[in-house]
């Protein structure tokens, strides 16, 4: 693979969007993240300290002076790196399997959720009608007590990751109510090839037999 104009362009765009080198490499295909990083440097794009490697002593604040009037350029306006609306790399929360229903173990609202995260805005968590914010459940939603206990335990140690923090190796089991700020993803190490951690795999994939057994 060579760095064609198009590929370089993609590289530039994604890098500017704050994508990681590995993500860019994955998108481009045929290159490793090392290649991407190498190219980035050769292009002189080395910028944002993407979260690590904070070597170098940056003492020179050689940035452009203040001078940033109100109305910027009418042309080059790309201040929104949020959603390229282009080829979506990955939906992150891949659930090609039976949608999980973490309804069973609803954690009573956890007020002190995010540490030091004081909502500055009048953010109420009651966009929900009343009582039961969660959608109806699939019907037979009986899970073995063992599995439930396991989940209950595990969720106390959940890493409480945000959507953005999920990777292929983190449990994507949602916890809490998406309609409120009392919501996060388990985030514990997922089983190889599975979207969830051990405990959540246990409740997500029910053999649909066993249950009957224990019931009658």
Binds DNA (CB under 7 A): choice among 12, 17, 29, 33? 33
3-state secondary structure of 23: helix
User: Which residue in 113, 104, 110 sits closest to 149, CA to CA?
Assistant: 104
1 lies in the binding site for DNA (CB under 7 A): yes
Q: Which residues contact 191 (CB under 8 A, 6 or more apart)?
A: 197, 198, 201
If the CB atoms of residues 19 and 151 are measured against DNA, the closer one turns out to be 19
Paired tokens of 34: 């090392």
141 lies in the binding site for DNA (CB under 7 A): no
Range 65-94, binding DNA (CB under 7 A): none
Burial, 3: exposed, middle or buried (Cβ in 10 Å; 0-12, 13-18, 19+)? middle
Taking the complex as a whole, the smallest distance from the CB of residue 159 to DNA amounts, in Å, to: 12
User: Which residue in 207, 2, 195 sits closest to 99, CA to CA?
Assistant: 195
169 lies in the binding site for DNA (CB under 7 A): yes
165 lies in the binding site for DNA (CB under 7 A): no
Binds DNA (CB under 7 A): choice among 5, 6, 56, 59? 56
Residues that bind DNA (CB under 7 A): 1-3, 19-23, 31-35, 37-42, 46, 49-56, 167-169
């Amino acid at each position: 693979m060579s760095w064609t104009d198009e590929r370089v362009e993609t590289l530039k765009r994604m890098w500017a969007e704050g994508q990681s080198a590995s993500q860019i490499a994955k998108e481009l295909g045929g290159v490793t993240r090392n290649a991407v990083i190498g190219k980035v440097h050769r292009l002189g794009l080395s910028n944002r300290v993407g979260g690590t490697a904070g070597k170098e002593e940056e003492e020179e604040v050689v940035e452009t002076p203040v001078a940033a009037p109100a109305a910027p350029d009418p042309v080059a306006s790309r201040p929104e790196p949020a959603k390229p609306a282009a080829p979506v790399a990955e939906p992150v929360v891949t659930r090609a399997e039976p949608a999980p229903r973490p309804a069973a173990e609803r954690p009573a609202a956890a007020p002190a959720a995010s540490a030091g995260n004081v909502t500055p805005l009048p953010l109420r968590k009651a966009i929900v009608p009343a009582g039961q914010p969660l959608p109806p459940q699939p019907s037979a939603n009986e899970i073995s007590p063992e599995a439930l206990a396991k989940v209950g335990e595990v969720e106390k140690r959940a890493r409480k990751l945000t959507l953005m923090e999920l990777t292929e190796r983190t449990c994507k089991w949602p916890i809490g109510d998406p309609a409120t700020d009392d919501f996060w993803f388990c985030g514990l190490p997922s089983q190889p090839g599975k979207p969830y951690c051990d405990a959540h795999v246990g409740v997500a994939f029910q053999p649909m037999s066993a249950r009957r057994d224990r019931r009658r």
